[in-house]
Structure 1
């Protein structure tokens, strides 16, 4: 089991590094070809797409992991195929709503009805793709997940670059249409693969069972989306599209840490659920401690090198982003920590608890954005992001430890990690302009962590 977890982690990690690497190396191309205004508009499009996807599918794709443990493989596969058809209902209702209420395009931040239709279609195929990827993850098939994700990403990048280069005068439209086409191609492949597995006799019941689990998740994921994008809408309203571009660009760089966490979490969840079933509390505690130490080290190194990433990826027009990334990364660190508590809530299928924390954090996020963005601009939005994710961490900690009476690790691990990272981020702002000092610190941190790992390896051998 240990080897299975480690090998899956390595495959997911390498896969996500390659996926993020593709996006990483194409980001400077798009940031230089596209005007900052178009880059900012496209960021708002992707933000609205994330929210719309939740309403089109009613988060039924989020039930794949939850449903795996109580079904046979054959029954699980037919369930997955059946719920893949459900978003068609949301797509149909969405298109009808656009036809009846054309002013909805203002709500989803697109310039014309055509963009609204494209967003609806892209949302549907995104859900289909997400369902298939979730199935591969929960069935512990990291190699298939890796190949599928690489093909999907490369098709999107190739089409995006082709359309952007052909439509230099309208790069916003080029990015949108290429995303719709690439998602459509990948989504059609999944649908063709799933059709033979559909069980029409159980279709209605599977939809009902799926919605019972997914409806509470709507508020959780909608609130998560608002946490991610509310600041961009407010920056667009109170500032301008260029500031949206700078903030979105910085957020994209910071999301590399989120990608790394997701890649490991994809392997952690099946392993963690299995250990909970076997009541291996000490093993979970041991792995949790090493996991936290690793992520603290990695986060520190990433923050120290982030100014160079901004210069390399975006150039001078995005240089103000160097002051945003440390706070964004701190927010993602809190996301990493709260996953320890959320994963247990998913294991217990306590999905009604999850939206309470996320919705409360989203409301606080919006209030803080209203208070901080007008006087402090982009820094105010970044501060709000970090605070909101910390509050969400505290909610999930309270629910798991005090309501569900479960504790995977000593609370001291949590508070030491939080205290260290907050102090480190504050210190980083003092040395942001001093590249030599930052790189010396990276070397020191790498030596310390390497020494620690060697000691752990020796202790395991003994």
Structure 2
């Protein structure tokens, strides 16, 4: 895939993903935070955390396995039968999970979330987790076939449905948190229906061993990674429930939700980059990975620096004044999300060389660090301790990931990573400067934009690929030579 095509696909994937996450996680945040009390929003954070946990438990890492092994089955002319086998196995797992929930769901829920009732939220969580898998499988299949326009159409439809359903549930029917969860569930239906449509005549209650066993073998290490990833990201929320109020959890949850913008931006680039790397010849793959990785590091820094410097303005836009005390937490979590996004480069290299166990070990390391740091920092420091624990775990995980990728592939990005991380850390300290509050909003915004532009340009001049330097030179009226 050419760099221009990569940028176009990445932009389209990014727009589509940001529509869905932007609607459910950002654009509608003012609706959530105003229609729900701060305590109810804290309950939403807890239920959403449990949805993620159930989702990781029932997926068995199969989405990651399909993302890597699908091309083998597409070459054999049986992609529909392969996807059908994966779907049928997932339905069996979901049915088993429903049986466990009926038999022992209440005590299990209380063990994880003692501050929120299990009914009706246990069944909402299980249902949404199941739909997350089917919708994810449908969207993944479309993306792997590089049907960008269809993918964008699915995401736009889902975003529109969630918007209308959430508004009706909260503002018209006043259904509160249960209504909001129902709106989320409805939003997963378009991708699920596309999945069924694409399987078509291959849809049958049949699981082929040749399809399932290699996928489970490849995917189970990722299942371990997902559980570790959940602990890495959500252990702070689980622990905070025992030390702070629901109102404080709402502040932490809002900061986590806003920090996701960095993660989504990086995943969107990965959705374009990884198929290009995985589908390339062994001779071409290292160069494609190198060029796209350098471009990715630069672009994700631009997105993260903007979010960090304008963190206070973002909170004021999406939430009432009661959430402003979470500004330091948001800044730390934005830096943490940026550090985590840098692992996309090493993860792509590890997956290309079919090293899922190494990726799993990386996530386990991060999870262990999250638990250790969380238990040490949350009781004395509360919300900020949880944010710092997340940052420390991300740093350890990303560093380990890049060391392993360097040993396997021979490609090193440590200089670039150190440079952009140091630059963003400086911006984080600048964003916390109290002097911004006494400055006119227009002047403050102009200064922040100038800082972002200057630092971004300096980093680009250091390691942006030569062809982009040539383009900059031509725009300036130069010779076009780097």
TM over 0.5: yes
Q: Shift of the alpha carbon at 1:291?
A: 2.5
Change (3 A) 1:43 1:242: same
Task: Kindly indicate whether the alpha-carbon contact (under 8 Å) linking 2:45 and 2:250 is maintained by their aligned counterparts in 1.
Answer: yes
Q: Residues of 2 paired with 1:36 and 1:121: CA distance?
A: 25
CA distance in 1, matches of 2:159, 2:96: 29
Q: CA 1:150–1:432 in 2, change beyond 3 Å: closer, same or farther?
A: farther
Secondary structure (helix, strand or coil) at the match of 2:257 reads helix
Match of 1:239 among 244, 247, 260: 244
**Structure 2: distance between partners of 1:17 and 1:119:** 23
CA displacement at 1:180 relative to structure 2: 2.9
Counterparts in 2 of 1:98 and 1:289: CA distance versus 1, 3 Å: closer
Whole-Å Cα distance in 2 between the matches of residues 266 and 159 of structure 1? 28
- Give ranges in structure 2 of 5+ residues lacking alignment: 462-467, 475-479
Deviations 1:64-112 (A, max 9, x none): 1110332335323321222012121121111111222242232453523
Show the counterpart of 1:55. Answer: 57
Is the 8 Å Cα contact of residues 362 and 397 (structure 2) preserved in structure 1? yes
Q: Is the 8 A contact 1:337 1:393 kept in 2?
A: yes
Work out the CA distance in 2 between the residues paired with 1:432 and 1:260: 30
User: Which residue matches 2:426?
Assistant: 423
User: CA separation of 1:10/1:69 partners in 2, compared to 1, >3 Å: closer, same or farther?
Assistant: same
| Contact kept? 1:305, 1:439, Cα under 8 Å | no
Partner of 2:216: 211
Partner Cα distance (1:251, 1:235) in 2 = 13
In the TM superposition, residue 165 of structure 1 has moved relative to its aligned partner by 2.5
CA 65–438 in structure 1, closer or farther in 2 if over 3 Å, else same: same
Are 1:340 and 2:349 matched, yes or no? Answer: no
Is the 8 Å Cα contact of residues 227 and 361 (structure 1) preserved in structure 2?
Answer: yes
Alignment of 1:320-339 (within 5 A): 320-339=325-344
Contact 1:431 / 1:438 at 8 angstroms: preserved in 2? Answer: no
Whole-Å separation in 2 of the counterparts to 1:121 and 1:14 = 27
Do 1:217 and 1:352's aligned partners in 2 also have CA atoms closer than 8 Å? yes
Aligned residues: 459
Q: Counterpart of 2:147?
A: 141
Give the corresponding residue for 1:441. Answer: 448
Contact 2:135–2:190 (8 Å) recurs in 1: no
Give the Cα–Cα distance (whole angstroms) in 1 for the partners of residues 236 and 263 of structure 2. Answer: 18
The SS at the match of 2:72 is: coil
- Return the match for 1:115 from 104, 121, 144: 121
CA distance in 2, matches of 1:360, 1:203: 35
2-structure distance, mates of 1:326, 1:353: 30
Could you tell me the TM-score, scaled by structure 2's length?
0.88
Rounded Cα–Cα distance in structure 2 between residues aligned with 1:128 and 1:280: 31
TM-score (normalizing by structure 1): 0.91
Give the distance between the partners of 1:459 and 1:77, measured in 2 at CA: 49
CA distance in 1, matches of 2:255, 2:294: 30
Provide Cα deviations, 1:243-288, integer angstroms capped at 9, x if missing partner: 1111111111121111211111111112233456333545543443
Offset, 1:53? 0.9
Find the counterpart in structure 2 of residue 132 from structure 1: 138
Aligned 1:3-402 pairs, distance under 5 A: 3-23=4-24, 24-73=26-75, 74-101=77-104, 102-107=106-111, 109=113, 111-168=117-174, 170-184=175-189, 186-198=191-203, 203-275=208-280, 277-279=282-284, 281-282=286-287, 284-402=289-407
Where 1:319 maps in the other structure, the secondary structure is helix
Q: SS of 2:110's equivalent?
A: helix
